[in-house]
């Protein structure tokens, strides 16, 4: 038998290894379009302009979401600089914070095994990992809603003393304020609705007297309202836009073109909770009836209410479902603790079998039409993903055996490493497709030509991460991007008409422009002088040649396009390889374009 001290050392070492895996690749992974580029740039502009009140993207008013996540990311920029990892630090930390809180609440409410199980389930569920590792606002609001839920449960447990109960209830109010500052009204609606339906079900109306209204409500108002008041005083259109347009109109109408069928979130839940959802039917088995506060009933109400809320909404995206994950993780942790070893083993064995069945599907996956130019990279990515699924299936099989042999904590640990490792492999491997999904290659192509006074135009397209990577705004031309239409309606001078751009372009030697590939022919027909510097499946980078250097463009056809800049002295790669070759343009143009061949 291993001594208690050695066991603690092993547990500490495994937790440290898991933390290293949690943060792995956060800097090497480039920001993906459009969300990561957008939500990384808004706080960068806050820091650059020293205006922490009014959110702007590329100088355009951006009132879609409140400011808490922007502030958290801006603080990371101020402390550590503007990097890929600091742009994601808020999501990584809030996602990790929720694991700790869920583990603590599960331990107090259901026991030690349930606490470890709940934390392990949440920390290895695919959708929670994805939300915690990309720069969007969804995991932040889900984290604070989960914190409010856990704090409320801890406050209502029968062994919680009066002083601790007050502290946990104030933490509940503070977490609700943070959720409200993260994404708006759901920070109030979800906790309030869950409490209401719980009291209707259990007739425990006395909970209203234990809410610490005298201290909690002022605390909520003090934390949540000042920013809304400050923005409204500066911009009179804000409150109507934020609450009516962004909260009610988005929920009730199809204006944002995010409508999906009523059953949309069922497969999201199944895939998102991999490899654990096979345990959910066992969670329906009720233990002995409980007198007083019943945490399990509250968790079920929380889960079902939010699931139904988003299912009937006219705006559906997979990450919207994240607020149910802390509650379901607690239910599954409780199931692991009180269920049979056979149930845990069978559930993880089923997950391993599903992964093995998915391996040949991944290997036979056809190249999407919009990635045809990156076909070799896509096939390589699917091969590496299939290999990662095979390794994860082996680990889940090991976890199933451990669970069957009554080693539940070891089983939870191995399965947690399997889920997190699989998603990290998928996220890091996805970098092979970065030319189609990130502005980082475009920024690298621009950098040799970029000087302090060089204008950069975005013509009928927008790579939202480009301002982040080049640390400066761009000039929007032509059609308004869908996510900036309202801001440009309030400040129309920030969008340049195409004819004005063409007139200015002719008198700005050295100017740069990014255009959509299907716009190239039309601009050439209008006599627009240009040199094509680089391109990808999503964009073409052009430059206004100097007046004394106008000459015919090199019209050699490109076979594919991954835009990076080759080293000035590098030799061309073997054109027959599956990696590609650097095509060297005339030295006066200093253009290098990295190409992917169609072979392989």
Domain boundaries, the chain: 93-339, 440-595
pLDDT value of residue 523: 87
Structure tokens given for 54:
């009014």
Distances, alpha carbon 86 to alpha carbons 39, 80, 430, 523, in Å: 12, 7, 20, 38
Counting residues of the chain whose pLDDT is more than 90, the rounded percentage is: 72
Residue with more model confidence, 457 or 576: 457
Q: How confident is the model at residue 2 (pLDDT cuts 50, 70, 90)?
A: low
| Reported pTM | 0.89
Counting residues of the chain whose pLDDT is more than 70, the rounded percentage is: 89
Distance, in Å, from the CA atom of 580 to the CA atom of 386, rounded to the nearest integer, reads 24
Q: How confident is the model at residue 596 (pLDDT cuts 50, 70, 90)?
A: very low
Distance, in Å, from the CA atom of 591 to the CA atom of 585, rounded to the nearest integer, reads 5
Residue with more model confidence, 80 or 598: 80
Q: What pLDDT, in 10s, does the model give residues 40-59?
A: 999 999 999 999 999 999 99
Q: What pLDDT, in 10s, does the model give residues 216-248?
A: 999 999 999 999 999 999 999 999 988 888 777
40, 137 Cβ separation under 8 angstroms: no
The 8-class DSSP code of residue 461 comes to -
pLDDT value of residue 546: 77
> What backbone phi and psi angles, to 5 degrees, belong to 514?
-115, 125
Count how many residues are written for the chain. 600
Q: How many Å from the N-terminal Cα to the C-terminal Cα in the chain?
A: 53
pLDDT value at 592 more than 70: no
Bridge partners (DSSP) of residue 581 are: 595
pLDDT value at 591 more than 70: no
1-10, 195-204, 354-363: which range is least confident on average?
1-10
Distance, in Å, from the CA atom of 561 to the CA atom of 198, rounded to the nearest integer, reads 56
162-166, 211-215, 439-443, 564-568: which range is least confident on average?
564-568
128, 272 Cβ separation under 8 angstroms: yes
pLDDT value of residue 244: 84
Distance, in Å, from the CA atom of 133 to the CA atom of 142, rounded to the nearest integer, reads 14
How many Cα atoms sit within 13 Å of 280 on the Cβ side?
16
- Pairing type for strands 475-477 and 495-496 reads parallel
Distance, in Å, from the CA atom of 289 to the CA atom of 300, rounded to the nearest integer, reads 15
Instruction: Count other C-beta atoms under 10 Å from residue 316's C-beta.
Output: 18
Average pLDDT score over residue span 198-212: 94
**Three-state secondary structure readout of 555-589:** CCCCCCCECCCCCCCCCCCCCCCCCCEEEECCCCC
What DSSP string runs through 311-375?
Answer: HHSS---GGGGGGGHHHHHHHHHHHHHHS-HHHHHHHHHHHHHHHHHHHHHHHTPPPPGGGGGGH
Q: How does the average pLDDT of the chain come out, rounded?
A: 87
Answer whether the bond into residue 330 is a cis peptide, omega within 30°.
no
Average pLDDT score over residue span 557-578: 34
Average pLDDT score over residue span 488-502: 94
pLDDT value of residue 565: 34
- 249-252 contacts: CB < 8 A, separation 24 or more? 250/313, 250/314, 250/315, 251/313, 251/314, 251/315, 252/314
pLDDT value at 294 more than 80: yes
pLDDT value of residue 547: 62
pLDDT value of residue 157: 94
398, 348 Cβ separation under 8 angstroms: no
Q: Give residues with Cβ within 8 angstroms of 8, minimum separation 6.
A: none
Distance, in Å, from the CA atom of 93 to the CA atom of 368, rounded to the nearest integer, reads 34
């Amino acid at each position: 038998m291993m001594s208690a001290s050695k066991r603690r050392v092993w547990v500490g070492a495994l937790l440290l290894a898991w933390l290293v895996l949690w943060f792995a690749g956060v800097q090497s992974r480039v920001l993906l379009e459009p969300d990561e580029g957008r939500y990384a740039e808004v706080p960068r502009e806050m820091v650059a302009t020293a205006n922490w009140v009014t959110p702007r993207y590329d100088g355009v008013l951006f009132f879609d979401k409140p400011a808490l996540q922007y502030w958290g990311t801006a603080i990371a920029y101020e402390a550590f600089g503007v990097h890929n990892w600091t742009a994601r630090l808020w999501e990584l930390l809030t996602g990790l914070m929720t694991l700790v809180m869920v583990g603590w609440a599960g331990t107090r409410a259901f026991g030690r095994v349930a606490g470890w199980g709940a934390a392990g389930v949440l920390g290895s569920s695919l959708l929670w990992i994805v939300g915690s590792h990309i720069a969007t606002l969804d995991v932040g609001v889900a984290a604070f809603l989960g914190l409010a839920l856990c704090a409320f449960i801890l406050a209502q447990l029968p062994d919680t003393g009066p002083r601790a109960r007050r502290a946990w209830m104030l933490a509940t109010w503070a977490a609700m304020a943070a959720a409200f500052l993260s994404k708006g009204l759901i920070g109030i609606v979800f906790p309030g609705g869950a409490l209401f339906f719980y009291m209707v079900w259990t007739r425990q109306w006395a909970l209203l007297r234990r809410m610490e209204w005298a201290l909690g409500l002022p605390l909520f108002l003090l934390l949540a309202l000042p920013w809304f008041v400050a923005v409204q005083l500066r911009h009179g259109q804000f409150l109507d836009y934020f609450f009516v347009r962004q909260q009610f109109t988005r929920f009730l109408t199809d204006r944002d073109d995010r409508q999906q069928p009523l059953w949309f979130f069922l497969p999201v839940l199944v895939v998102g909770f991999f490899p654990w959802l096979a345990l959910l039917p066992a969670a329906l088995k009720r233990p002995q009836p409980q007198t007083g506060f019943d945490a399990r009933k509250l968790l079920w109400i929380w889960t079902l209410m939010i699931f139904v809320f988003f299912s009937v909404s006219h705006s559906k995206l997979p990450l919207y479902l994240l607020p149910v994950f802390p509650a379901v993780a607690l239910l599954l942790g409780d199931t692991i603790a009180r269920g049979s070893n056979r149930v845990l083993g069978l559930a993880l064995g089923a997950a391993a079998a599903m992964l093995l069945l998915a391996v040949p599907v991944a290997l036979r996956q056809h190249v999407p039409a919009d990635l045809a130019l990156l076909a070799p990279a896509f096939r390589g990515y699917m091969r590496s993903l299939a290999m990662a699924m095979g390794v994860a299936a082996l680990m889940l099989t090991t976890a199933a055996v451990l669970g069957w042999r009554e080693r539940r904590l070891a089983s939870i640990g191995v399965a947690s490493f399997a889920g997190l490792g699989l998603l990290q492999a998928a996220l890091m491997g996805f970098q092979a497709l970065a030319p189609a999904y990130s502005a980082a290659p475009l920024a690298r192509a621009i950098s040799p030509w970029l000087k302090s006074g060089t204008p950069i135009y975005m013509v009928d397209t927008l790579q939202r991460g480009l301002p982040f990577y080049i640390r400066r705004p761009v000039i929007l031309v032509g059609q308004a991007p869908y996510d900036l239409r309202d801001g440009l309606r309030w400040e129309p001078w920030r969008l340049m008409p195409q004819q004005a751009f063409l007139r200015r372009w002719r008198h700005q030697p050295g100017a740069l422009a990014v255009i959509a590939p299907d716009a190239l022919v039309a601009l050439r027909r209008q006599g627009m002088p240009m040199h094509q510097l680089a391109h990808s499946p999503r964009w073409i980078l052009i430059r206004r040649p100097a007046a004394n250097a106008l000459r015919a463009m090199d019209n050699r056809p490109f076979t594919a396009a991954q835009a990076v800049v080759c080293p000035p002295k590098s030799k061309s790669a073997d054109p027959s390889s599956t990696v590609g070759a650097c095509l060297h343009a005339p030295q006066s143009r200093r253009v290098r374009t990295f190409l992917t061949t169609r072979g392989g």
